[in-house]
Structure 1
Amino acid sequence: MKKSLLLVIAASLVAACQTTSGNEGASARSTASPDFGDFGPWFNAERSIGGDAYRRVTTTTSDGGQMLMEQFSVASGQCVGRDCQNNSSRQERQENIYDYPRHGSQRQPKEAWYGWEIMLAEGTAWGTDQAIGPIILGQFKQGGVNCPLFIFKHQAGYTDPAIEMALPRGTGLPEGEGDCVQPVSSQAGDVRQLIGTWGRIELFVRWAPDETGLLVGYFNGRKVMEHRGATCVEDCENIYFKYGIYYANQRERASKPVTAFYRNVSRSLDRKSLVASSGP
């Protein structure tokens, strides 16, 4: 991202948030609505903080154009319900596959492309400056299955600045620390590449519970993961996407606030049809 665009965003965020903010049902109250491609409606995921933790923000770019972003914020110690027992915090939007069912019982096309772009706020703490725990910035879940099918994350609390793509699996332990492991993972980049700069994630997924499954992941146009094997569990029913911030199982030290901006979250049957940015 060009520095001039960052300065414009920083200068205009407060005023923009006052005019375009929204939480549940934001698509009706906002002055603008993002293009989500083939995705249907969204809602605040269970145990999300709510309120001003989610906003739609329109900013003016350096060339005078308008850019629509979604802003997610999680402050230190914020939690709802069972997340408080697990020292977890979240503000996520979830694909509403139950009220608006599509694509059969799987709720996803058998094969699809997915894309989203993320920018972490300037000054975001990472690594050992944060509490130990994964900061998840996009995940696929399946109804009735505890662990995500896929996550994009930074493992905070350690010296490693990596951001990863991973396919977690359950251990059989109750929800909380140690309930999920990552038998398949790949480093996508460095979390510092997302601080004050847009990063683009693209996935091709063939949903299947066996060796016919396929997941190929790209970060900023570079292929960083290719997994051949199961991409969902058993009947593969009720698969849905969530995006925002999920800071799970925080420990060892107090967490610091995290703010993330999203744009161009979309699904398509081919890569060329994904919603993508025309500018920086």
Structure 2
Amino acid sequence: MNWRLFEVPGIDLDSIDIPVVKLPDGRLPNKEVIDNLVARVLANVDALGAKLPVDQADAIRSDLALMSFDPNLVQPQFSEPHLGQDRYGTQFYIRPCAAILPDDIDAGSEDVASPLQKMLLGFSNTMMPDRAVPVIKAEFRDHLEDGRTRELIGGNAFFTPAEFVAADHHIEGVFDEFGQFSGWVAVYNRAAVDHVIAWPGSTGRPTDCGPFRIKFAYLQGRMSESRLPPAEYSHISQKLNRIGGLYVYRDGIRILPYGNSDFDF
């Protein structure tokens, strides 16, 4: 599929052919299958005729010329996960990729997360100690030219349950449909104290967002004021500086752009 077709104004979606082929279980498409799919898209481009500007049509044909390959030869070059045999899932082969993708991947450092990491880290809610294992496991592997592979968003790249629990202070509770908070606050790991805070601005009217739960962990800004050992404090503090923020989830899936400090406050 070439997404440029969807960017052209004046073309009805019914006029765009999305080629689909069904293969036997465990079989990856080979070069012949890929070439046939590409041919169908090219035929669709030709059929659109004058509806498709010449420069757009040329760009699409140029993109499709890069799609002559055999996934069976590409797949063995990468580690898990992969499709084939009894595996299932969705896998994308994208050529050409956006010109800004390398910058989005490599712009980060130990102190600053890359744009791609800011967007994808915490895709599933994995930092809550009492949450079930997420249905979707999000990972992004950067395969380097020297053969090494970097995992950018999986594993411990995001906050772990242990790090959440280790924070100095915690707030947990529920905001009801009228904006009233009912929950507890624990300071420096002491016994939790119950709190009920009404929102005067409600004036008896339900909020637009409806009820929601909140779990909040806070680390003191100064090491001398934290209960954590210096090494653990430095590790979590550095992580907070890179990716700290107010992450919002619905059904365990992150709602963008929240979590990125550029949008939190």
Interval of TM-score (by shorter of Structure 1 and Structure 2): under 0.3
Tell me the TM-score normalised to structure 1 length.
Answer: 0.24
Larger radius of gyration: 2
Q: Which has the higher contact order (CA 8 A, sep 6+)?
A: 1
Q: Decide which structure has greater helix share.
A: 2
Tell me the TM-score normalised to structure 2 length.
Answer: 0.24
